[in-house]
Amino acid sequence: MTEIDALLATLALEPTSGGSYRGTSIVFGAAPVVFGGQLLAQSIVAGAAVDPTKEVKSIHTVFARGASTDAPLEFDVDVLQTGRSFASASVTARQGSRLCTRSLVLLHQPEPDLIRHQPDRRGGTPPMDAPRSEHSSGFWEVRVVDGVDVSDPGAVGPAELDVWTRFIGAPADATINQALLAFASDGFLIGTAMRPHAGIGQSMAHVSISTTVITHTLVFHESVDAGSWMLLSHESPAAGRGRSYGRAHVFSEDGGLVASFAQENMIRHFTPDQAPQPGRRSAH
């Protein structure tokens, strides 16, 4: 099994009963905690099953609790509405009695343009001219424009980050391609918010500071080709009171706007009961 096959296997949800599904997880990162992007991706797949004649327009997710890679995930789908133009559902991810995320998934039937506009893509660095990132894996290629290292507490810059990304071997399935973009959308807005602040970097997360994603909203504007280069253009306009807010546009390599997303995050000192022992990582 190739690495992309391992990720795709997590998106092949197993129907159980009464509109519920079971899913597995991959270990992604240093801790045995399910990557938030995987939960977003799986929730899109579960929500899309409500009406296969439509495509996912948006997903709005609250991350209530972390999930462990050591146990199966259950996805409960509650249909809110189905009609000619739109359908919607609530998707709850849980492990046993532990509720992990709850999402609202909106589906639609695309219609002809009445109006159309989009922002210009920021910068002009081609993907192969951007250095390969440490976030890259066998299935997910990541290149950061100008080689910005959000992990380095000493690297200070504006609260902006441009990231080229693609999933090598992505299949030709519209929902799976949306799910793969959702996976990629979860990784960089906390680091973007840290950039202006000397002495703060993403390498400190779960070690000396406590960070997590609280909410995530992803909106699709066009069809997604996750196997081709996409530019995730991030910015974080506000941070404070232990929180940060970030947003991003997603462009195809030719400059078309395909999606946008926004995220609320927690970035704070550890509370005394959550601080890890020296040399250890915390889930908080």
* Confidence (pTM): 0.94
Q: What is the pLDDT along the chain (284 residues), one digit of tens a residue?
A: 467 999 999 999 999 988 999 999 998 876 678 999 999 999 999 999 999 999 999 999 999 999 999 999 999 999 999 999 999 999 999 999 999 999 999 999 999 999 999 999 987 899 999 999 877 777 899 999 999 999 899 999 999 999 999 999 999 999 999 999 999 999 999 999 999 999 999 888 878 899 999 999 999 999 999 999 999 999 999 999 999 999 999 999 999 999 999 999 999 998 877 766 665 666 55
Q: In what order do the strands lie in the sheet with 86-95?
A: 14-15, 20-23, 73-82, 86-95, 98-108, 55-63, 210-220, 257-268, 243-252, 230-240, 160-167, 140-144
- Taking each helix axis from N to C end, the angle separating 174-185 and 36-48, rounded to the nearest 10 degrees, works out to 150
Q: How many other CB atoms are there within 10 angstroms of residue 199's CB atom?
A: 9
Q: So where are the chain's domains?
A: 3-108+126-268
Residues 6+ apart with CB under 8 A from 203: 151, 152, 153
Query: CA–CA separation, 148 vs 157, rounded Å?
Result: 9
CB 280 within 8 A of CB 262: no
Tens of pLDDT, residues 98-124: 999 999 999 999 999 999 999 999 878
Query: CA–CA separation, 25 vs 161, rounded Å?
Result: 28
Q: Which of 153, 237, 239, 160 is nearest to 198 (CA)?
A: 153
Detail the DSSP E strand segments found in 27-159.
Answer: 55-63, 73-82, 86-95, 98-108, 140-144
What 3-state DSSP class applies to 11?
Answer: helix
Torsion-angle region of 272 (φ positive above 0: left; ψ -120 to 50: alpha; else: beta): alpha
**Token digits for 151?**
């992990």
- Quick one: CATH architecture of 3-108+126-268? Beta Barrel (2.40)
